[in-house]
Amino acid sequence: MAEEKQERIYIVEDHEVIREGVRQYLELSGYSVKGFATLKAAREAIAAQLPSLLIQDVMLPDGDGFAFVKQLKQKCDCPVIFMTARSEESDRILGFELGADDYISKPFSPKELVLRVQAVLRRYHNGSYHPSDGKLYVGERWMKFDEQDHRLEVDGNEVVLTAAEWRILSFLIENSHHLVSRSQILEECFDYNVESYERVVDTHIKNIRSKLGDGPWIETVRGYGYRFIGHEKDSGEV
């Protein structure tokens, strides 16, 4: 619990009652919290000190929260939870495509938000996969997935993943050559299992494949889920 009290959370929400209510509830849960009513104020605060987690509204008086997070993710991998009244599936998909770690629709229970914050921070700090120092291969292509240093290389080139993409790839590698369903990925990587969110998994897999390049690292099993097919080789085979 001592570590949680050191976590720094920023809330970007123009509705003062919601912003202050969330801030007070999170502070009671042991977090250091700052609230901002505009993207301009949030941008200045983030430039001065990066938060442990950002809770981001989408519709703000001086801009779009989606665009703001897209810019932020190009510079750092700060965990993000979208907090918005826009609950359509297309909005959830867009949020996850931009690298969001979770998405909560208004109105919501403050207790639920705290639980989601705890889950995101726990996943962000505690990787589930601890591979050897060896490389993983598909044909002549190779990958080095280093959980400890949070570093991924493919054919010698560093690949940058969002926090959500990292967790999914880690889970797939941990279960190499085993079929994992979309619901398993949701439950293990996002702490929930709702059918309407399964498209989110497909979106993340598409983004991961794009970043990994041409190698067929992840196999689609139609109607079920995915399987990671990279494998280790002995040094004498490389």
Summarize pLDDT for 86-123 with one digit per residue, the tens: 766 677 777 777 777 788 888 888 888 888 888 788 76
Note the pLDDT of residue 234: 46
Calpha distance 190→115 (Å, rounded): 12
Task: Specify the amino acid at residue 223.
Answer: G
- The architecture in CATH of the region 136-237 reads Orthogonal Bundle (1.10)
Summarize pLDDT for 120-149 with one digit per residue, the tens: 887 676 544 444 446 888 877 888 888 777
The superfamily in CATH containing domain 2-125 is Response regulator (3.40.50.2300)
**Does position 183 have pLDDT exceeding 90, yes or no?**
no
Summarize pLDDT for 7-43 with one digit per residue, the tens: 899 999 999 999 999 999 999 988 999 999 999 999 9
Mean pLDDT score of the chain, rounded to an integer? 82
CA–CA distances in Å: residue 204 to residues 23, 54, 97, 198, 218: 30, 20, 7, 10, 12
| Mean of pLDDT values over 164-176 | 88
CA–CA distances in Å: residue 31 to residues 3, 57, 111, 198, 201: 10, 19, 14, 31, 30
- Split at pLDDT 50, 70, 90, the class of 222 is confident
182-190 and 163-174 helices, crossing angle to 10°: 120
> Which has the closest alpha carbon to 9: 49, 63, 47, 55?
55
> Which has the closest alpha carbon to 66: 43, 97, 101, 23?
97
Q: Measure CA of the first residue to CA of the last residue in the chain; give whole Å.
A: 45
Side-chain-side CA neighbours of 142 within 13 Å: the count stands at 14
Note the pLDDT of residue 226: 93
**Does position 206 have pLDDT exceeding 60, yes or no?**
yes
Domain range annotation of the chain = 2-125, 136-237
Q: How far is CA 223 from the centre of its chain?
A: 24
Note the pLDDT of residue 62: 93
